[in-house]
Amino acid sequence: MSAPGDTRAPEATDGGGRSGGPPVQPSLGVLGWARFVWRQLTSMRTALFLLLLLAVAAIPGSTFPQRSIDAARTAQWISDHPTAGPILDDLGFFEVYASPWFAAIYLLLFVSLIGCVVPRTRVHWRQVRSVPPRAPRRLERLPAHREVVVDGTPEEVRERLRGALRRRRYRVHAHDDTSLSGEKGYLKETGNLVFHVALVGVLVGVAWGHLLGWRGDVIVPVGSTFANTLSRYDTFSPGPWVDPNDLDPYTLRLDRMDVAFETEDTGPGQFGQPRDFRASTTFTDGDGTERSEEIAVNHPLETGDGTVFLLGNGYAPRVTVRDAEGTVIYSDATAFLPEDNFYTSVGAVKVPGAVPEPLGFAGFFLPTGVIDDERGPHSVFPDTLDPQLALTAFEGELFPGGRPQSVYTLDTEAMEPLPGDEADQLRILLRPGETFELPGDRGSITFDGVERFAGLSIRTDPGKTLTLVAALTSLTGLVASLVVRRRRLFVRVGPADEAGRTVVAVGGLAKDDDEGMDDELAAVLTTDEGPR
Amino acid sequence: MTETTFAQLSTLSAYSAIGVLTLAMIAYAFYLARLAPARDERREQEAARRATPERELVGVGGGADQDHEADRAGAAGPTSEMPVESAGARKAAGIGWTLTLLGTVLVVAAVALRAAEVHRWPLGNMYEFALVGSMFTLLAYVGWSFRRDLRWLGVFVVVPVLVVLGTAETVWYTEASQLMPSLQSVWLAIHVTVATVAVAIFTIGAALGGLYLVQDRIEARGGTRSFMARLPSARALERLSYMTHVVAFPLWTFTVIVGAIWARQAWGAYWNWDPKEVWSFVIWVVYAAYLHARATTGWKRQNATWIALAGFVCVVLNFAVVNVYFVGQHSYSGL
Ligand code: HEM
């Protein structure tokens, strides 16, 4: 922290900045070793090394898919790389930011930081309350220096200079009758300490949010109501200290979902891009008070217990399955997950009550469907210009072994495909209003129409305010530490050869190389109150 | 005027800027070529003068002002080390400066026309980032030039700007379009604008850092007659590089903070380790390491500068590679 040649406060060098450490003696002892390791850890070189290591360690998280962000892509990557995949998985490459090695780096960095900041704060506190040190005997040895002869007695000249320094916001002290010591820019070190301490605040805020925050995701088709209880969530991930049974009772009904896509711009990558998503909802709080709320991207809804974000949308085709007698055995708006920008969506319809055996349908919903030999069924525009449902049918055991499975896929391990006419497998293509008779008295399936759904994510992060305040504090400290200049300025006066004139020597010492120190000396000498 | 007219005018303006800046580049290169590399003689004189200042100054007696001027000229700033200018060199620099001003005006016009065309803040895709980034780089250079003589730096700023502008028009060009929903936010204007300003200043800082490393090598070898002798000393270059980084780093810090605020609004979490966020973090940490390295006793300035250049490599990767090839929520390059 001290520039070479910085004579002030030698005790303020960072804890072991000159990191030669003590000479290693055979009998260092446990305490000695501990002290040695601590000195190394809290040295600026180590901090620098850890910072660079942190940067390098963060990179794999952007090149490998991360499980917490996209579990499906991660699983795909691992199965595509049967040798490297499992090894990298064991090493934590798919969960970089939760991996022990990443944590080790930043925790060491912060231990080092605290070990660095505490003694520095003590030193700084002492310096702030003390007077500037005595002027060196030979001012011409200082990096910036000049000498002039002016009118006036040494006492007069010194008093004028004292005023000049004060006006330039120096703290001034006279250790003897012929010199002055001035210092300013204490704010630089204060800013630096605030910056580093506030970084700790950011870390605490992040950790707090991690421990006490939670998020849950749920898909709500238009017309449905979501009730804020644990069982209603499709996925729920609580922080370790969260009681998931203690959620505020409220309900949210999705009244309408408005979606706009780009239709005018046909340039590559633009046509069909989403332009606007808007969910009109009715929010009912625990007391039964209703109010209308609009949720849009960039416009979440604050509920008091979690914030509701609109993060996704898609289609839920309404499908009805009847048995041979025409009795309805399944009727629901079933969400299909969009897979590409044009909302080619995959999903499954599971009918456990079918006879003679449970039925399962799996396939695609296409808002604007095209089926070609090369790409199979796919959508060419995200809005419902020509909605189609392309399904294959299976019968057999829907939930083999009672294993949990995704609602969007069919586990066909214990199922047989229904046979088709020419093709080996039955293929069903339905447009809204159409019904398909299943072969062999198995009943029928009808595509009644399609609803939109909203993908809502409800989250709390109690640490976010602390994180933000700490980050902004840190920024303020940083700016202060980078902008403010710490300067020491010394003055010596003495009688000149001619009577009534005085030799003034001024010398300046700045932290770091400070281009402006020469100007500063000149300015002090030429202020109104300075020597004439 | 219709939007198509705006679009055509914007592109026309950008292409004109490329033409004008190419001429500026030539003029600045000519300027450097015509400078007499007389720095060393100058330096010797200066050293001689500085060896005996006390006596002179004391002799001056009354006039502190006078010696103020004299000493100012001798201060270890880059100005004092500038080589002798021939009339031709001065003329070339004047032409380079005028053309740079004109080029800057044209780029500003291209940005303004693009904004008029798309009816929004023109920072929605890679083409627009590149255009606005070039604008801020030029503005930073022009603005700084009003405070100190930076004619020697002209060619090193104009060349990267030309590379970016040229790539923008030929590779990244994107038709005007509306923004995807997550980008429709006031935070966009703040976040992306400050990010672009920071990147512009980092660019100048990297140019200075690179020049410093070359200059340092040459000075260490005692080389004097090289082209580089026409530039400021290694020490002065290093200090200028540091100054630009000191401006850019807090701006980048601010960018990251505002990005987090916006990410919460748009995606529900202020930090998601999306590839773009990862790289913003990496950039921040690397530049923090640079500032650290520079302040660490016993660390060479050269090594610190290498860290800064590594930071700039990350900035370039973040823009040119992460935008286009990495899957993430920030995938809105428009390509
Ligand atoms: C989270 C980790 C850290 C980050 C991001 C960080 C970042 C920074 C930055 C950006 C600066 C430049 C600001 C300035 O010059 O005032 C700085 C300065 C400094 N840092 Fe850190 N730092 C970290 C950890 C540490 C640690 C562990 C130490 C102690 C070993 C340390 C000691 C210092 C010192 C002494 C300075 C002042 C340099 C000077 O006097 O100019 N920092 N730090």
Q: In this complex, which of A51, A63, A298 lies closest to B184 when CB atoms are compared?
A: A298
pLDDT over 90 at B258, yes or no: yes
Task: With residue A395 as reference, give the H or E element that holds it.
Answer: strand A388-396
Q: What is the pLDDT of residues A83-99, one digit of tens each?
A: 898 899 889 899 888 88
pLDDT over 60 at A365, yes or no: yes
Q: Which pLDDT value is given to residue B84?
A: 66
Single-letter amino acid code for the residue at B170: T
pLDDT over 80 at A353, yes or no: yes
Q: Which pLDDT value is given to residue B178?
A: 64
Q: Which pLDDT value is given to residue B54?
A: 36
Q: Which pLDDT value is given to residue B161?
A: 95
Q: Which pLDDT value is given to residue B136?
A: 96
A309 and A457 in contact (C-beta within 8 Å)? yes
Q: What's the distance, CA A493 to chain centroid?
A: 58
Largest CA distance in chain B: 73
* Nearest residue (CA) to ligand 1, atom 12: B291
More confidently predicted of B131 and A42: B131
Q: What is the pLDDT of residues B92-147, one digit of tens each?
A: 989 999 999 999 999 999 999 888 887 777 877 888 899 999 999 999 999 999 99
User: Which of A219-223, A437-441, B195-199: highest mean pLDDT?
Assistant: B195-199
Residues near A459 by beta carbon (within 8 Å), at least 6 away in sequence: A213, A214, A215, A216, A306, A307, A309, B268, B269
Check CB contact under 8 Å for A471 and B57.
Answer: no
Q: Which pLDDT value is given to residue A245?
A: 84
Q: Which pLDDT value is given to residue B80?
A: 43
Q: What is the pLDDT of residues B64-102, one digit of tens each?
A: 333 333 333 333 334 444 566 778 888 898 999 999 999
Average pLDDT (A348-376) is 87
The finding on whether A354 has its CB within 6 A of some atom of ligand 1 is no
pLDDT over 80 at A57, yes or no: yes
More confidently predicted of A229 and B52: A229
* Residue A388 to residue A370: CA distance in whole angstroms: 9
- By most ligand atoms within 8 Å of CB, the mutation choice from A196, A511, A512, A514 for ligand 1 is A196
> Smallest CA–CA separation between A156 and chain B, in Å?
16
Residues of A in contact with B296 (CB under 8 A): 17, 44-45, 48
Percent of chain B residues past pLDDT 90, beyond the cut: 43
Q: What is the pLDDT of residues A289-305, one digit of tens each?
A: 999 999 988 889 998 88
* Residue B278 to residue B276: CA distance in whole angstroms: 5
pLDDT over 70 at B291, yes or no: yes
pLDDT over 50 at A6, yes or no: no
pLDDT over 70 at B40, yes or no: no
Q: Which pLDDT value is given to residue B267?
A: 83
Mark which residues 450-469 of A lie under 8 Å from B by CB.
457, 459, 461, 464, 467-468
B181 and A312 in contact (C-beta within 8 Å)? no
Chain A residue with CA closest to B261: the answer is A468
The finding on whether B289 has its CB within 6 A of some atom of ligand 1 is no
Q: How far is the CA of A179 from the centre of ligand 1 (A)?
A: 35
Q: Which pLDDT value is given to residue B61?
A: 29
The finding on whether A109 has its CB within 6 A of some atom of ligand 1 is yes
Q: Which pLDDT value is given to residue A75?
A: 85
More confidently predicted of B284 and B170: B284
Q: Which pLDDT value is given to residue B296?
A: 83
Ligand 1: atom nearest CA of A2 is: 40
Q: Which pLDDT value is given to residue A497?
A: 85
Chain B within 8 Å of A97 (Cβ-Cβ)? yes
* Residue B26 to residue B13: CA distance in whole angstroms: 20
The finding on whether A14 has its CB within 6 A of some atom of ligand 1 is yes
Which sign, positive or negative, has the C-alpha torsion A11, A14, A17, A20?
positive
The finding on whether A58 has its CB within 6 A of some atom of ligand 1 is no
Mark which residues 160-199 of B lie under 8 Å from A by CB.
174-182, 184-185
Chain B residue with CA closest to A278: the answer is B181
Check CB contact under 8 Å for B266 and A297.
Answer: yes
Q: What is the pLDDT of residues A112-169, one digit of tens each?
A: 999 999 999 999 999 999 899 898 888 888 888 888 888 888 888 888 899 889 988 8
Single-letter amino acid code for the residue at B114: R
Q: Which of A380-384, B115-119, B321-325 has the lowest mean pLDDT?
A: B321-325
Chain A within 8 Å of B105 (Cβ-Cβ)? no
Check CB contact under 8 Å for B299 and A2.
Answer: no
Average pLDDT (A419-437) is 85
Task: With residue A276 as reference, give the H or E element that holds it.
Answer: strand A274-284
Mark which residues 4-63 of B lie under 8 Å from A by CB.
53-54, 57-58, 60-62
The finding on whether A474 has its CB within 6 A of some atom of ligand 1 is no
Question: What is the Cβ-side half-sphere exposure of residue A80, based on CA atoms within 13 angstroms?
Answer: 8
The finding on whether B292 has its CB within 6 A of some atom of ligand 1 is yes
Q: Which pLDDT value is given to residue A391?
A: 92
Per the prediction, chain B carries an average pLDDT of: 80
Q: Which pLDDT value is given to residue A147?
A: 87
- Tokens representing A453 are 């759904």
Residues near A258 by beta carbon (within 8 Å), at least 6 away in sequence: A276, A277, A278, A279, A280
pLDDT over 70 at A14, yes or no: no
Chain A within 8 Å of B112 (Cβ-Cβ)? no
Q: Which pLDDT value is given to residue B9?
A: 87
DSSP code string of A306-324: SEEEEEEEEEEEEEEEE-T
Strand partners, A446: A320, A435
Q: Which pLDDT value is given to residue A322?
A: 93
Whole-model pTM: value is 0.85
Residue for token digits 């707090």? A208
For residue A506, give the nearest of A264, A55, A143 by alpha carbon.
A143
Mark which residues 262-301 of B lie under 8 Å from A by CB.
264-275, 278-279, 281-282, 285-286, 288-289, 292-293, 295-299
* Nearest residue (CA) to ligand 1, atom 4: B288
Check CB contact under 8 Å for B288 and A51.
Answer: yes
Q: Which pLDDT value is given to residue A188?
A: 93
Q: What is the pLDDT of residues A239-274, one digit of tens each?
A: 888 888 888 889 999 999 988 887 776 665 667 777
The finding on whether B291 has its CB within 6 A of some atom of ligand 1 is yes
Q: So where are chain B's domains?
A: 1-121+149-159, 179-335
Q: In this complex, which of B64, B68, B265 lies closest to A300 when CB atoms are compared?
A: B265
Residues of A in contact with B319 (CB under 8 A): none
* Residue A154 to residue A172: CA distance in whole angstroms: 17
The finding on whether A113 has its CB within 6 A of some atom of ligand 1 is yes
Q: Which pLDDT value is given to residue A113?
A: 93
Percent of chain B residues past pLDDT 70, beyond the cut: 76
For residue A359, give the nearest of A406, A326, A396 by alpha carbon.
A396
Q: Which pLDDT value is given to residue A51?
A: 92
> Smallest CA–CA separation between B133 and chain A, in Å?
22
Neighbours of B303 (CB within 10 A): 13
Chain B within 8 Å of A276 (Cβ-Cβ)? yes
Please, which pLDDT band fits residue A284 given cuts at 50, 70 and 90? very high
Q: How far is the CA of A9 from the centre of ligand 1 (A)?
A: 18
Please, which pLDDT band fits residue B221 given cuts at 50, 70 and 90? confident
pLDDT over 60 at B330, yes or no: no
Mark which residues 79-98 of B lie under 8 Å from A by CB.
none
> Smallest CA–CA separation between A265 and chain B, in Å?
7
